[in-house]
Structure 1
Amino acid sequence: MCTGGCAKCLGATLIPLAVLCTLANILLFFPGGKTVEDSTHITDEVWYFGGIVGSGVLMIFPALVFLGLQNSDCCGCCGCRSCGKRFAMFSSILFAALGFLGAGYCFILSAVAINRGPKCNTGSDWNYPFNNGDYLGNHTLWDKCQSPKDIVPWNLTLFSLLLIMSGIQAVLCGIQAVNGLLGTLCGDCKCCGCCGGDGTV
């Protein structure tokens, strides 16, 4: 597959993932699917906006750049198409790095949130009743959270989705970094070889 075509496929995959990550983060503001009276009752990691900023907004920029690579006319230096295409592919490496950082931010936040567990009402106070992910293998511990209802599976499911999707985003950005490097060194398959003064091969 041409490097530009590969980039377009990656960009088309990143956009729905970014939208889903944003939605997952928004849902986390409604513990157990319900609104809270006090915002301090929401798990701290939700307020770091890993899905909205990291895997959401920051991912849109590289996705749009990747989508536009195949449509670039590649008219570059000295009328040589391959030169312009190579510069465009090089710039995509920088955006891939930006996307990788955003996805990594969301991935780390999600992993920390899963290990720490949700903030909930234990009957005496709102706190974090779990330690080092001990609740993951022992569902009887979930009873420590008296409210909001179903907060443990709610947070666990959404943060797990964020973990998986941000991991996929990081892999896709890594693939584009390699793809962009190949495009920089070799040019796109549609822009190969030496060009004449009119910009044609």
Structure 2
Amino acid sequence: MYPNSQVVEAQNRLPSPERAMCVGKCARCTGLSLMLLALLSITSNLFLLFPNLDGSYLRRRQISSYARFLSGVWAGGLMVLLASIQITTTGFKVRRLSCCGPRCDMFLSGVSSFVALLGATISLLVSVAGLFSGPYCLLQENDGAAQKWDYPKHNIFNNSSVVMVPDMSSWSGACIEPPYIETWHSSFFILMSMSNILQIMLCLSQIVNVIFGVLCGHCDQKK
């Protein structure tokens, strides 16, 4: 008995491994990577709120406003984390969480990737601004007298270099409290910035992956 012509036509429309891109595997790797980077962004931002693991500065609001904005928690953290769960689910093709076919799943993961891209960009802009502004600390005047809590008024750019980078050496002579705030501030803001940059790169790659997924479906789909 020959198979129904409609069944044959439907089977011919299924993407074969030779013709389709491995969008499912790419989505799995991208989703899991975004999940780890989101947790790293959240952790970095939380550490910025507790210099030297001391919570008294946060209670007195003696913390950089860029750290208190919590962009690494809600933008580079939760927004990216929720999107990564959807992208990973699409990559593993969990059918019970899917209301439509694989192409629709990939389209939804594209929307999630755009949301994650927006969150990572916001977090990156805030973290770079926080890095360049310098730490919020108890400043010291030239005569050695203590001054009010503020951001360093020194030139935060190193003009002697071809590449404009923060002149962090000027912070150490200005800040007297919290202790070692210069290293703490710069380390975690750089860590958060790097995680946001990687998030942006992964989101852009997933958006390209979605285009192939919508056109071709999952490459690891069985015939």
* Fold match (TM-score > 0.5): yes
Deviation at 1:184, TM superposition (A): 0.5
Cα 1:140/1:132, change in 2 over 3 Å: closer
Please tell me the residue identity of whatever aligns with 1:22.
I
Matched residue type, 1:156: S
Match of 1:134 in 2: 157
* 1:163-186 C-alpha deviation (Å, 9 max, x unpaired): 000110111011101101110012
Match of 1:48 in 2: 69
- The gaps in structure 1 that reach 5 residues or longer are 76-82, 192-199
- The residue correspondences of 1:93-132 to structure 2 (distance < 5 A) are 93-122=110-139, 123-131=146-154
Return 5+ residue gaps in structure 2 as ranges. 1-20, 140-145, 159-165
The code of the aligned residue for 2:183 comes to P
Which stretch of the first structure deviates more once superposed, 11-20 or 155-164? 11-20
Larger Rg: 2
Distance 2:85 2:45 in 1: 22
Q: State the distance in 1 between where 2:75 and 2:101 align.
A: 30
The sequence identity of aligned pairs, in percent, is 28
Q: 1:2 offset after TM fit, Å? A: 1.3
Root mean square deviation, CA, Å: 2.1
| Structure in which a larger fraction of residues adopt helix | 1
SS at match of 1:146: strand
CA distance in 1, matches of 2:201, 2:27: 13
What's the offset of the Cα at 1:73? 6.4
Which residue among 50, 53, 64 is the counterpart of 2:85?
64
Q: Say if 1:132 and 1:91 are closer, same or farther in 2 by CA, change over 3 A.
A: farther
Matched residue, 1:86: 103
TM-score by length of 1: 0.85
CA distance, structure 2, for counterparts of residue 98 and residue 173 of structure 1: 9
Instruction: Name the CA shift for 1:140/1:45 in 2 (closer, same or farther; >3 Å).
Output: closer
The yes-or-no answer on 1:9 pairing with 2:29 is: yes
Mean CA deviation greater in 36-45 or 179-188: 36-45
Contact 1:117-1:130 at 8 Å conserved across structures:
no
With structure 2 as the length reference, what TM-score do the two structures score? Answer: 0.77
Deviates more, 1:23-32 or 1:129-138: 129-138
Q: C-alpha distance in 2, partners of 1:104/1:24?
A: 16
- Deviation for aligned residue 1:134: 3.1
How far does residue 14 in structure 1 lie from its aligned partner after superposition? 1.2
Identify the residue that residue 32 of structure 1 maps to in structure 2.
52
- Report what 1:143 is aligned to: 173
Change (3 A) 1:112 1:15: same
Q: CA deviation at 1:17?
A: 1.2
CA distance in 2, matches of 1:172, 1:110: 19
User: Is the 1:11–1:63 Cα contact (8 Å) retained in structure 2?
Assistant: yes
2:43 is the alignment partner of 1:23: yes
SS in 1 for 2:152: coil
The question of whether the paired residues in 1 share the 8 Å contact of 2:156 and 2:168 is answered with no
Kept in 2, the 8 Å contact 1:115–1:132? The answer is no
Size of the aligned set, in residue pairs, is 186
**Bigger shift: residues 65-74 or 133-142:** 133-142
Cα distance change, pair 149–14 in 1 and its aligned pair in 2 (3 A): same
| CA distance in structure 2 between the partners assigned to 1:67 and 1:112 by the alignment | 31
